Amino acid sequence: MTTNSELFERSSRHIPGGVNSPVRAYGSVGGAPRFIESATGPYVSDAEGTEYVDLVASWGPALLGHAHPEVVAAVQRAAARGLSFGAPTAAEAELAEVISERVTAGGVSPVERVRLVSTGTEATMTAIRLARGVTGRDLLVKFAGHYHGHSDGLLAAAGSGLATLALPGSAGVTAATAAQTIVLPYNDRAAVESVFAEFGGQIAAVITEASAANMGVLPPEPGFNAFLAGTAHTHGALLILDEVLTGFRVGPAGWWGLENAAHPEHAYVPDIITFGKVVGGGMPLAALGGSARVMEHLAPLGPVYQAGTLSGNPLAVAAGLATLRLADASVYAAVDAAANTISTATSAALTEAGVAHRVQRAGSLFSFVFGERFVADAPRGYDEVQGQEAWRYPPFFHSLLADGVALPPSVFEAWFLTAAHDSTAIERVLAALPAAARAAAT
C-alpha cells in the first residue's frame, strides 16, 4: 500500500505543492492531504483504504452524494455516444431551459438566456467582460473576502484559498488590472454609496457572492443585495450575482430564490447570474445567465467575445441535467435536515468544551467562527473573520479526520452536506464531535 504521505511526496516532485488547487494541500491545517481513491454517497476513501464521512462534497457539486447511480449512468450513456463534438447538442438546450425554469420567482426568471462554460472562473470572468461590453465602462466593484475564481481582476482580497494562505492578492496581476477593481467592505452600504458617488459613471458592475461563503459563511444583511441592485441600476451599472457556490445548492433557485421567499419586501433582479459546481453535477461545467437584452451582447449575436472548445461538453451536460432533474424538494429537505443536525451538534459540542464560537449559516451552508467576540455579534465582513481564533481549527480538523470525518481543510470554507448523508453517516460525525471540540479547546 502506498501511503498518503508517500503519494504527497511523489506528486510534489512534478506538481507545484503536490496539488492542482492550493487549498487541497492542507497548508493551513498541516499534514499530508488524503489522496482519494473513490467516493460514494456521503463517503470518500483514501489511498490507505480509510473511509471518511465527507463534508467537502467536492467543494459543493455533490449535492446528491458522490457517484449517484443515475448521474453516473447518464454520464456513461453520454460517453458511449462520444466525448466531445465541438458542435451544439439538444442536451445543451435542455440544460439551459432547466436552469432558466429553476431560477424563477413569482413566475419571472432573471435568466432568459444561458451560456455554458467549463468553470466558475470562466463564468465570472465572462460576466465581467459582458458587463463592460454592455455599459462601455471599465471599473468593477467587489467585496473583500468574496471569491469569484482566479481571473486576474478578481484576485484582490479574494477570500477562500487566499484567506487560507493569508495572501492579500496574487503576484502576476498587473497594477493596471488591479486598479480597475474597487474592493469594498461587505455589508457596508455607506462604502458602496460613496464609491458610486465618486465613480458612478465609470462603474460597469458590482459583483457579489449571492451569500458570501469563501471567508467562512457570511450571509448578506437582509436587503443588502437588493440595495446593491438598486444602487447599481441608479448609476447605469449592472449587478452580477455570483451563485457558483450557492446556486442549486441552498435551494432550487439558489440564494436569490431563498432571499426572495424570505424577504419579498427586498426583491431584486440581478442582471447576470453565474452558476457552477452543482449545475455540472461533479463534471467541469458552469454557466452564466441573464436577460436577453444583456446576454445577446455575447458573440455570435453581439460584440463581446467568449468561446470554449469544451463548452457544453456532452458528458458534463449529462451530469448536470441528471443532477438537476434529481434535485427535487425532498433532496433539499434532506440536505437542510443534515445541515441542521450537524451544525447544531457541533455547536453544542464546542459549547460543552468551552470553545467560544458562532455558527454562521446561509441555507444549508454553514461554518464556525471562533472567538468570544462573535458570541454576541455576528461578523459583517472579512476583517472581522480574519481576526478570529483560527488556530483552534487545525486540532479540531485533525481530531475529526482521525475519527473518520473529513472537513474542509480551512476555517475559511463552508461545510457541505449532501442528500446522501443518512443517519449512519451523521451518527459517525456526531460521535466524533466531543473529542474534536476538546481538541479545539486546548
Residue position matching grid coordinates 441552498: 250
Comparing CB distances to ligand PLP, the nearer of 127 and 401 is 127
142 carries an active-site annotation: no
Q: Which of residues 242-261 bind ligand PLP (CB under 6 A)?
A: 242, 244-245
Stretch that binds ligand PLP, among 28-36, 143-151, 166-174, 398-406 (CB under 6 A): 143-151
Q: Which of residues 207-236 bind ligand PLP (CB under 6 A)?
A: 209, 214
Backbone angles phi, psi at 106, to 5 degrees: 60, 35
Q: What is 399-421 written as a DSSP string?
A: HHHHTTEE--SSTTS-B---TT-
**Which stretches of 30-187 are assigned E, i.e. beta strand?**
36-40, 43-46, 51-54, 113-117, 139-143, 181-184
Instruction: Output the smallest distance, CB 353 to ligand PLP, in A.
Output: 30
Q: Which helix (H) or strand (E) holds 103?
A: none
Instruction: Indicate which residue of 242, 271, 332, 393 is catalytic.
Output: 242
Of 251, 257, 276, 290, the residue at the interface with ligand PLP (CB under 6 A) is 276
Q: Which helix (H) or strand (E) holds 347?
A: helix 329-352
List the grid coordinates of 284. 467541469
Instruction: Output the smallest distance, CB 245 to ligand PLP, in A.
Output: 4
Instruction: Give, as one character, the DSSP assignment of residue 119.
Output: S
Residue type at position 347: S
281 binds ligand PLP, rule: CB under 6 A:
no
Asked if 141 and 192 count as a contact pair (C-beta separation under 8 A), the reply is yes
Backbone angles phi, psi at 215, to 5 degrees: -125, 40
Where b means 16+ CB within 10 Å and e means fewer, 123-150 reads bbbbbbbbbbbbbebebbbbbbbbbbbb
Comparing CB distances to ligand PLP, the nearer of 245 and 362 is 245
Q: x/- string (CB under 6 A) for ligand PLP, residues 147-176?
A: xxx---------------------------
Cα dist from 347 to 116, 322, 340, 343, 352, whole Å: 39, 35, 11, 6, 9
Asked if 439 and 396 count as a contact pair (C-beta separation under 8 A), the reply is yes
Q: Which of residues 77-136 bind ligand PLP (CB under 6 A)?
A: 119-121, 124
Instruction: Output the smallest distance, CB 14 to ligand PLP, in A.
Output: 22
Q: x/- string (CB under 6 A) for ligand PLP, residues 319-358?
A: ----------------------------------------
- For residue 235, the SS3 value is coil
Instruction: Output the smallest distance, CB 433 to ligand PLP, in A.
Output: 26
Instruction: Output the smallest distance, CB 142 to ligand PLP, in A.
Output: 11
Backbone angles phi, psi at 386, to 5 degrees: -70, -25
Comparing CB distances to ligand PLP, the nearer of 153 and 371 is 153
Instruction: Indicate which residue of 54, 277, 382, 393 is catalytic.
Output: 277
305 carries an active-site annotation: no
Comparing CB distances to ligand PLP, the nearer of 109 and 119 is 119
336 carries an active-site annotation: no
Comparing CB distances to ligand PLP, the nearer of 214 and 347 is 214
Question: How many positions of this chain bind ligand PLP (CB under 6 A)?
Answer: 15
User: Number of C-alpha atoms within 13 angstroms, CB side, residue 181?
Assistant: 25
Instruction: Indicate which residue of 52, 147, 268, 332 is catalytic.
Output: 147
Q: Which of residues 53-72 bind ligand PLP (CB under 6 A)?
A: 59
- For residue 115, the SS3 value is strand
Asked if 381 and 218 count as a contact pair (C-beta separation under 8 A), the reply is yes
Residue whose Cβ sits closest to ligand PLP? 120
Stretch that binds ligand PLP, among 239-247, 364-372, 388-396, 403-411 (CB under 6 A): 239-247
Comparing CB distances to ligand PLP, the nearer of 274 and 399 is 274
Comparing CB distances to ligand PLP, the nearer of 135 and 246 is 246
| CA dihedral angle for residue 185, residue 191, residue 197, residue 201, rounded to 10 degrees | 10
Residues forming the active site: 147, 242, 277
Residues that bind ligand PLP (CB under 6 A): 59, 119-121, 124, 147-149, 209, 214, 242, 244-245, 276, 286
